[in-house]
A and B are shown apart, each in its own frame.
Chain A
Amino acid sequence: MATVTTPARAPGGASEMPDTPGWARWANEHRKWLFAAPAMIFVAALIVFPLAWTGYLSLTDAEGSVRAESEFVGFRNYVDVLSDTERFWPAVGRTAAFTVVALLFEVVLGMAVALLLWRPFRGQKWVRVAILMPLVATPVAVGMMWRLIFDPNIGLANQVLGWVGIGPQPWLAGQHSALPTTIFIDVWQWTPMVVLILLAGLTSLSEEPQEAARIDGASTWQRFRHVTLPLLMPTVIVAILLRGIDALKTFDILYATKGRGGGSFHEVETLNVYAYGLSFDYNEYGVSSTVLIIFFLIIIGSMWALTARRKEAKR
């Protein structure tokens, strides 16, 4: 392709078309920005502005009404929130516990199911559809459904336990069992998504390393541990990243099962539920914005840590 034999043109060549107007040349040189501009403006309007406004509110004592006069208080809200051991820090703890435990179960279970579905078998299509069912349901509806199932007095869960001779459990009603129960619901709903991602990763793996390992006499576990898992690692981290951010932000399931404040003893009050209560129940927009900004920084931080880890795994 490089050896073009056509006779040379007049000096100057194609790059210097004499009658191209200046703006067109400029547009041509910057076209990648130009085409992206509408999207960038859109993002700015929808993300940057609200974020900046929240940031501003977090530095004021806005309460009651956003339109009411509020005073600039600097970082006082941040000091107040970060020294609040009654609601804020327990909420941070619950957010972390919810995310880590749910994620752990979802990834381990998801991996197991993905491995089972990896090799073709009869009726695989139906099994896949069945596994995806929880994923398509609305989280609020899912929350309401499990709330009924877990009702301590008339719910199905305790009835089933009764059949096998186990006494009734408080489930969502218990002060200490509520958070684990909501984690269970999250695992039930979101493991399929992890399965989906991992399955896509597994099917795109090349067969040769597996073959080679098999010929060398590696056992199934050894092949998984030393061949499949390392090759799949970038995909696993993508799954953790996507699901992790989502789990951190969980709101609907918690709100639908335990209501405002995460229950009477704040049993399932995560940062999201707390910030929601601050805005919508207490009308404390300044403090609520502060919690949200801190939460935003936590999410950005965890995302950054995970992406860094992913780059490492790819290497």
Chain B
Amino acid sequence: MGLSACGGGGDDSSASKTVRVTLANHVWTENIKQALPEFEKQSGLKVEITQLGEDQLSDQYNVKLNAGSSDIDVMMYRPLQEGKLFAKNKYLADLSEQVKSNKDWDFADFQAGPVEATSYEGKPVGVPIITEQEVLYYRKDLLAKAGLSAPPKTLDELKAAAAKVKAAEPGVAGFVARTGKSPAVTQFSSFLYSFGGDFVDDSGKAGVSSDAAKQAYAYYGGLIKDSGPANVSTDMSWPEAMAIFTQGKAAFYTEADSLYKNATDPAKSKVADTVGFAPFPAGPAGSKPYNIPSWALGVNDSSKNKSNAWKFIEWATGKQQTLVQQKAGVPSARTSVWANPEGTATYPKDLVEAIAASTKVGVGHDRPLVVKVAEAREIVGQPIVDAIAGKDAAAAADTANTAFQKFLDDEAK
């Protein structure tokens, strides 16, 4: 219901019957594309999808939204990366009215953390569609060969196990993870929290030179340098790191759970049947992985087709679609689908356990929460690559802290 009437707010009589939707390359997108005919039939609308890689998507928004273009109605965006910037620039329409308009759709069903991340100044400007937690991917066969009966529970155990596998298996790395200055920041964040640090400390000051942060930088960089692939590059994002893991060239890999299908799908992974999942290993401050909404849908504020745009979002994020998505491997932000046994039946059992553990202790951000996130990531990511390159991580952290404090001061002005 709710689709037949012009349910949402706004009464744009000139509205087009075509909804233009811009989406990122993602499992979610592939799933929604398959379900589209159902929506088109139901609503009588036509959906035109533009699909782009993450970087191209960002660039596209930068160009089009900057120019006030109205040819995007619905946009898939990254709340933690661009949310603040987009909302501040008034690219995202205020959805306060729409989220209340349909009881069945049930906005209260969404987890609190993701909702907060998609709000700006207390008003919802997006609807979270995918959540992510960092988990440990590992190779059961390599562990057994190395005489280890269970995946490591602490970061110390991880370090020892990675070194052991690397020594025992020529050509196989003990550990792999993202190494690019900016891409690595999000996955490094769980290490940072588990050592007891954060990018910004409780008093709002830059926190990347705290003792905990210095230990985390040295640990992450050292692990890749000592147990990582030979000749490791400092440009790896997840596709490169995942490729090394799925080619059978690494024993442990820390990454977002939402990418698990890449590792368990036999068409993409040589190690599909030997992959195991475990909660993020505990550091001195316990196991503290991030737990965040990585993607959301928003309405372009310059769109002339806002009510139809909302109809699409309402359908795509409704309980039914969300369950379908979750079953197809996209961890969702709706509480009800996690409570539903059907919603977790298709997941590897150990992954469900790892996710459940993560949502309990998770931290709601995986990067500094600022407006100019890309710049901030480059600053706090520098010590990571310095540590991988074998430089002094503590000195790099001190330098980064000074730069990051200046950045925070500039932004606060």
Contacts and interface: CB of A to CB of B under 8 A. Distances in A.
Interface of A: 64-68, 152-154, 168-170, 172-173, 175, 258-261, 263-265, 279-283
B51 to A, nearest CB: 18
B379 to A, nearest CB: 11
Contacts of B89: 64-65, 67-68
Interface of B: 55, 58-59, 62, 65-68, 85, 88-89, 91, 179-182, 229-235, 237, 244, 247, 249, 371-372, 374-375, 378, 381, 385, 389
A264 B62 contact: no
Nearest to B389: A175
A173 B181 contact: no
Given A65-B89, A65-B91, 11 more contacts: A64-B88, A65-B65, A152-B233, A168-B230, A170-B233, A259-B180, A260-B55, A264-B385, A265-B385, A280-B58, A281-B378
A153 B249 contact: yes
Nearest to B173: A153
B231 A258 contact: no
Contacts of B247: 154
Q: Pick the 9 closest A-B CB pairs, nearest first.
A: A173-B233, A152-B231, A264-B181, A65-B89, A264-B234, A281-B374, A264-B385, A66-B66, A282-B375
B234 A265 contact: yes
Contacts of B385: 264-265
A67 B389 contact: no
B368 to A, nearest CB: 14
Contacts of A260: 55, 182
A172 B249 CA distance: 20
Contacts of B179: 264
B58 A173 contact: no
Contacts of B66: 65-67
Q: Which of A67, A153, A279, A280 has the most B CB atoms < 10 Å from its CB? A: A153
A283 B62 contact: yes
How would you classify the secondary structure of chain A's contact residues: helix, strand, loop or mixed?
Answer: loop
Contact of A280 (B62, B65, B230): B62
B234 A173 contact: yes
B58 A283 contact: no
A37 to B, nearest CB: 28
Nearest to A168: B231
A144 to B, nearest CB: 12
B235 A173 contact: yes
Contact of B85 (A64, A168, A169, A264): A64
B170 to A, nearest CB: 13
Given A65-B89, A258-B235, A153 B230 contact: yes
A264 B371 CA distance: 21
Contacts of B244: 153-154
Nearest to A175: B389
A34 to B, nearest CB: 34
B229 A64 contact: no
A259 B239 CA distance: 13
A170 B59 contact: no
A29 to B, nearest CB: 43
Nearest to A169: B231
Contact of A152 (B182, B230, B374, B381): B230
B181 A261 contact: yes
A274 to B, nearest CB: 12
10 contacts: A64-B89, A65-B89, A67-B89, A153-B244, A173-B232, A258-B235, A264-B181, A264-B381, A280-B58, A280-B62
A67 B234 CA distance: 36
B402 to A, nearest CB: 13
B235 A64 contact: no
B325 to A, nearest CB: 30
Contact of A170 (B58, B182, B231): B231
B59 A280 contact: yes
B206 to A, nearest CB: 18
Contacts of A283: 62, 85, 372
Given A64-B85, A153-B244, A279-B62, A263 B378 contact: no
A106 B200 CA distance: 50
Given A260-B55, A264-B180, A283-B85, A152 B232 contact: yes
B67 to A, nearest CB: 8
B371 A64 contact: yes
A172 B62 contact: no
B288 to A, nearest CB: 25
B331 to A, nearest CB: 27
Given A259-B235, A283-B85, A153 B62 contact: no
B85 A153 contact: no
Contact of B374 (A68, A168, A173, A282): A282
A264 B396 CA distance: 14
B59 to A, nearest CB: 5
A105 B234 CA distance: 28
Contacts of B378: 261, 281
A259 B247 CA distance: 23
A163 B115 CA distance: 56
A291 to B, nearest CB: 15
Nearest to B58: A280
A62 B235 CA distance: 30
A109 to B, nearest CB: 28
A258 B237 CA distance: 11
Contacts of B389: 175, 265
Nearest to B244: A153
B371 A172 contact: no
B70 to A, nearest CB: 13
Contacts of A280: 58-59, 62
A134 B191 CA distance: 45
Contact of B234 (A66, A153, A169, A263): A263
A263 B378 CA distance: 11
Q: Which of B91, B233, B389 has the most A CB atoms < 10 Å from its CB? A: B233
B241 to A, nearest CB: 12
Nearest to B61: A280
A64 B389 CA distance: 33
Contacts of B85: 64, 283
A9 to B, nearest CB: 63
A197 B31 CA distance: 51
A173 B180 CA distance: 11
Given A64-B89, A283-B62, A153 B231 contact: yes
Nearest to B375: A282
Contacts of B65: 65
Nearest to A170: B231
